[in-house]
Each structure stands twice: as structure tokens, then as C-alpha cells.
Chain A
């Protein structure tokens, strides 16, 4: 294997190791990452029950909570992470080292996916057991494939965010906060996005630019409802996700090069507490 490729994989696994080992060293996450999402799942599940919504809506909320874990991971542990690394003084070391930054980002994504998958499964299982969500695994294999594709697109977006965050200072915290509720709304985290069909096409198009929208709609079709609440046919959603995955990973690579250079020129690589 060429030395550059070996270095890439070594750096990637080294960066993901730190994320995965954390799960075994600090076990508070079991409580933290399952109990907290379950409280909001409970609130929304009871809201749907109070409104006499069909049972599958509780399933949507549980699936939404599991996918929220990935979105939070993308925002806080991918997007904002280089900003934090800069604040803690590690970013200079990353840049100085011979390891490619893309490998660091890929390692962060890989480690993040592994740890968040554990949390998401815990949320899903607890939610299904506690709230008796009517899930079916008839198309489980396809759902798993769609889920994998969604994650590639989502973490590609996360890698893109990470480079963008190199430009930001204290506003990074607020931008991450700002990317929560609006994204929950646009992606239909707790409700079928089918209700957006009456809205202008530009809104639906913008929503579909976030991988969670097509990913969750496709998974809902496969795990809960069939075609009842779907936004569009499964094949189109898979095609959208594949397109987004390629686009975000390529864009992340390009942005990283451009913005790392800009951060160096502007003297922002080591600038803290601004």
C-alpha cells in the first residue's frame, strides 16, 4: 500500500479510536444518551396520543429521536469540533502533523458514527418497547441500506461544516444552536414531511438538501407505513441520498483546502476566545 494511503488510514483509525474508546471509559453516556432523548420522545408520544393520531406517529417520533442523535453528533462532534480543537490548542498540532486533515475528519466521522449508532439503537429499542411503536422488519435489509446511505451523506455534510467552522469564532456555538430547531422542522423529525407538499417547491427542495429528510421518509416507508405518508417514491429518495453523499464529500474536501488556507492567511488557526 502506498505510504500516503497507509498514513491516511492510520490517522483515520487513530482519530476514530479516541471517540470509540470514550464509550467504554465514561459509561455515563448510557444514561445520558438514552434517558434524555426518551423524555422528549415521551412528551411527543403523549402529544400524539392526546391528539388521537394513529400509532405509527409514535414510531415516527422514536425514529426521529434516534436520527436526532446523529444530527447532534454531526453538529457538535463534527461541525463544531475543529472550532473546539482550536480553543483547546490541538488544531495547530493537527495542521502541523503529516496526517492529512481529510483523514482526521474521516476518523471523526467514523468514530462518531460508531458511537452514535450504539446510542441510536438504544433509543430505538427503548422507544419501541416503552411506547409499543408498530415497527415492522419485513424490509429491514433495505432500511439498513438506506440508513447507511443517509449516514454517508449526513457525515459528508458534517465534514463540510467542520471546514466552515474554521472561519467562525464564538458564533460557532450559536450557529450550531441555530441549526437545530429549523432543521427539525424542515426534515420532519417528528412528523411526515408529506404535509410540505402543499408548500412552494423551493421549500421542499431546500428540505431535501438535508439528507435527514429523504433518509427518514424512506425509512418510515420501509419500517412503519408503506406508502401512506410518503413524500415521494423510495427509489427517488435513494437517488437523492446517493447524490447528496457524493456532493457533500467532494465539497468537504474542496472546502477544507480552501478554508484551511484562508484561516492560515487570516491568522485564525490559533485564535482563541474571539
Chain B
């Protein structure tokens, strides 16, 4: 009986792997030069002067509504066509040197499906001053629980 249970577990694991394989994520392929660390972004936000970035959340709306970086805007999940279209529309007309920070925070970095498509899209549009916020675990752990500037709602 236990052997059958183990066999069942193995087959379910293989099924999960095949399902997951169709959703290969590439956040970890974003070059480190395109990233900004959490502490560095906090310093920029809290500095009395200096250029403030346009901060765009490119992940889940439900997560954004619960908590987001103070002053950031929700765009849409960049892993979806609708999200990418919304991103393109948001940056339309902005100078290509505009300082933009993208973030998601839905999942551990290596599993985030939104960061890389958003980064890639803006660079393809010619934006040269784009950084993606490196969130190692998730937005709750790496930003909210550390007491960094947070807002709720839309």
C-alpha cells in the first residue's frame, strides 16, 4: 500500500514538473547591472532631493491592493499580454532617459514570471534608465516586514 502511495507521489510529481515546465521563468536572467537592491531604492525614495523614479508594479493586482511601495503604480502582470500592453501604454510619451523602477514580489526571485518580460519590454522600447527591483523572497518578507514605505489600496 505504501509502495502504491509512493508510486502515486512520483507520478504526481512528474505531472507537476511537466505542468510547471511550460511556465519557465527567467527573472534570474536579468543582468545584475539592470537590478536595484531594496536598500538602495529605499535610500533613493527617502532622500530629501534627487531624481525620484517612476515605480511600476508589474505583478498581481490583489497583492498590490494589499500593500505596495508608497507612490508606486499598478500596471498589470507582465507575464500576460494585457499586462505588457498596459506597461507600454503607461510609458508612452515618457523621455527614454526617464528613471523607471519595475517590481513584482509575487514569488521567490527565480520563480517570478513578471520581472523579466517587463524589463525586456522597456529596453526594447529604448528606455535606458530602467532598473528592476531585486526581491529575493516576496514583497511581504523583503519590503513590508522591514518597515519600508508602504501604501495600501488602489
**A and B part of one assembly:** no
Which residues of A approach B to under 8 Å, CB–CB?
none
Which residues of B approach A to under 8 Å, CB–CB?
none
